Amino acid sequence: MALTEFSLISRFFAGKTHYRSFTHLGIGDDCALLKVPDGHQLAVTTDTMVESVHFLRGTDPRQLGFKLLAVNLSDLAAMGAEPIAVSLALTMPEADEKWLSEFSAGFQTLASQFGVDLIGGDTTSGPLTLTVQAMGLIPSGLALLRSGAKPGDLIFMTGSLGDAGLGLKMAQHLTKIDCQMALQRFNCPMPRVQEGIALRTVANSCIDISDGLAADLGHILELSSVGARLDFDRIPLSAGVNKYLKETDDWSFPFCSGDDYELCFTVAPEKADLLKFACTQIGIIESEPGIRISRNGLIDSLKVKGFEHFST
Ligand code: ADP
Ligand code: MG
């Protein structure tokens, strides 16, 4: 039997386990109902992925479902929010049963890992466009903002830089380097949810690296009216990315390649001892605007821009 709008919703998205008591009403009515517990704020974020803009045509739907949720949970992590619920707006050229089944499996894999309830959405036909709205809880007043960095703060990041960028080059057959870890990071990034929560009372500012470190740290600097000095030798780079830099001589590559979904955050020096998870100090906040990077005993300014839609 052909899949119609309602049959596909009930088959692939409705009737899944609810992990959270906050979900008072899920899929099926005009709206879902969520209870926000006393003393908490609801953090809300939306991210869209468009075919040929955010992902290559023919991308494995299982990876797509995983990544669509991951990029949204990463925004919650960057605020220190605990993810509880998401809605999903799907626009597809056709209702392909196999595609939907794989997409939904990838989505549910990550949703079950973090106990996130799918509470509603919308399903329409059109060019492949995937949107999630994600909601998370933060104890009132503890959200990690981009505007809180202060001169003297140490700049840290989780994980390593540039792997997803290298994974994209591999997927586009633009490099001969074969690094499965980089491909995995590009296809299925793991949002730093626990780290974000742990930073609530430690960091002064935080952002997730979606458009490249230079661009994303740039947002913290702009909103905090400060600048930064990075130390190239401290930047955590995987063997694959190091190899890529040697081959291309493009040292700025990891700073302007996106999709890593690591957290970049700033911490007052006296609080650095409170960091209990793996992360690396990569620089320091200074009062002079801009990003400077010390490399081979010289100081370069880093003006690399990340990806921006509508830029020419
Ligand atoms: P409405 O016409 O009121 O917008 P819909 O008919 O679009 O409602 O959707 C019916 C129900 O299914 C709603 O509860 C909606 O939230 C849910 N829903 C629709 N599409 C999806 C989807 N892709 N994923 C999850 N829930 C969905
Ligand atoms: Mg609708």
First-last CA distance in the chain: 46
- Minimal-distance CA residue to ligand 1 atom 20: 122
Question: How far is ligand 2, taken at its centre, from the CA of residue 121, in Å?
Answer: 7
For residue range 251-294, list pLDDT tens digits in order: 999 999 999 999 999 999 999 999 999 999 999 999 999 999 99
Residue 12 CA: nearest ligand 1 atom is: 24
Lowest mean pLDDT, pick from 5-9, 24-28, 69-73, 89-93:
5-9
CA 121 / ligand 1 centre spacing (Å): 5
pTM above 0.85, yes or no: yes
Assess whether the C-beta atom of 273 lies below 6 angstroms from ligand 1. no
State whether the beta carbon of 122 lies less than 6 angstroms from ligand 1.
Answer: yes
Ligand 2 mean position, distance from CA 75 (Å): 25
pLDDT score of 305: 62
* Angle, in degrees to the nearest 10, between helices 5-12 and 97-114: 40
Instruction: Give the separation between CA 47 and CA 115, rounded to whole angstroms.
Output: 19
pLDDT > 90 fraction of the chain, expressed in percent and rounded: 88
307 pLDDT band, cuts 50/70/90, is: low
**Edge to edge, what strands does the sheet with 227-231 contain?**
205-208, 263-267, 154-157, 280-286, 227-231, 290-295, 298-301
% residues pLDDT > 70 (the chain): 98
Q: To test ligand 1's pocket by mutation, which of 27, 68, 99, 116 has the most ligand atoms within 8 angstroms of CB? A: 27
Q: Are strands 117-125 and 154-157 parallel, antiparallel or unpaired?
A: unpaired
Q: How far is the CA of 114 from the centre of ligand 1 (A)?
A: 22
Q: Is the CB of 90 under 6 A from ligand 1?
A: yes
Instruction: Give 151-209 pLDDT, tens digit per residue.
Output: 999 999 999 999 999 999 999 999 999 999 999 999 999 999 999 999 999 999 999 99
DSSP codes joined into one string, 95-109: --HHHHHHHHHHHHH
